[in-house]
Chains A and B, each alone.
Chain A
């Protein structure tokens, strides 16, 4: 049986809100140590992996490992109308493993609303161990998420693709659209400690800007973001979420190649 309790303004729900423009259904695995969510967008281009340890929830109990397909879009929609100080309880039982129950309790505890959401069947993807994947990359850029968001905002003025390339002591973002082009050079400063650009080998990736903007939305929940690039491989965007937590989110984005 799984039971977890959280307040509406919680990290988990804020992250779910932020990823909904990419995915509406997700594979959620729960164990005694925490919750892992994995989801692929409908086009099979972007993958999201979210890890939230048990202690991040107001209450968390899972006595048996569970894996379920959840329509997170429907779940978030059900929770949206709850009062901001309301308490949300999510339950899944072994006896009836066809749905989950989402209960919303008002702050005064005088009103309880329960939703029963049917579980969905999902294709599961075998993604290699992500930490190992990060070590193999040609270039990594650790940067404040505000910088990443600002660059994505600049890029969103140009409708099209973005080329991310390594340059001497830095990285370059280049977007070419119908109305013109945009070029951002992001260099390793001499003194800043929150920027770390490491290049093992030159690399250039072309990516769909629409996905980059979705990634920027989640990075708003984190102070730092890490981009890892390797020739001909998916871009990896990694964020630790919140302060003093071990929660993290990882995105993979398939590149565009010469047609």
Chain B
């Protein structure tokens, strides 16, 4: 099975 990643894992939040 595949798990959906979130963009916050790649980019930091301000």
Chain A bound to chain B: yes
- What is the interface of chain A, defined by CB distance below 8 A to chain B? 40, 43-47, 123-128, 161, 206, 208, 233-234, 252, 254-259
Instruction: State how many residues of chain B have any CB contact under 8 Å with chain A.
Output: 14
Residues of B within 8 A of A47 (CB): 7
Beta-carbon contact of A40 and B12 below 8 Å: no
Residues of A within 8 A of B7 (CB): 40, 44-47, 125, 234, 252, 254
Beta-carbon contact of A257 and B2 below 8 Å: yes
Residues of A within 8 A of B6 (CB): 43-45, 254
Separation in Å of the B10 CB from the closest CB of chain A?
6
Task: Classify the secondary structure of B's interface with A.
Answer: mixed
Residues of B within 8 A of A234 (CB): 7, 10
Beta-carbon contact of A206 and B11 below 8 Å: no
**Which 7 A-B pairs have CB atoms at the shortest separation, nearest pair first?**
A256-B2, A259-B3, A44-B6, A124-B14, A254-B5, A259-B1, A254-B7
Among A40, A126, A233, A258, the residue within 8 A (CB) of B3 is A258
Residues of A within 8 A of B11 (CB): 125-128
**CA–CA, A258 to B2, complex, Å?**
5
Separation in Å of the B5 CB from the closest CB of chain A?
4
**CA–CA, A234 to B9, complex, Å?**
10
**CA–CA, A47 to B8, complex, Å?**
10
Beta-carbon contact of B3 and A257 below 8 Å: yes
Separation in Å of the A245 CB from the closest CB of chain B?
27
**CA–CA, A126 to B14, complex, Å?**
6
Beta-carbon contact of B8 and A44 below 8 Å: yes
Beta-carbon contact of A254 and B2 below 8 Å: no
Residues of B within 8 A of A40 (CB): 7
Residues of B within 8 A of A259 (CB): 1-3
Residues of B within 8 A of A252 (CB): 7
Separation in Å of the A234 CB from the closest CB of chain B?
6
Q: Supply 13 A–B pairs (Cβ within 8 Å), ascending by A.
A: A44-B6, A44-B8, A45-B7, A124-B13, A125-B11, A126-B11, A126-B13, A208-B4, A254-B5, A255-B5, A256-B5, A258-B2, A259-B1
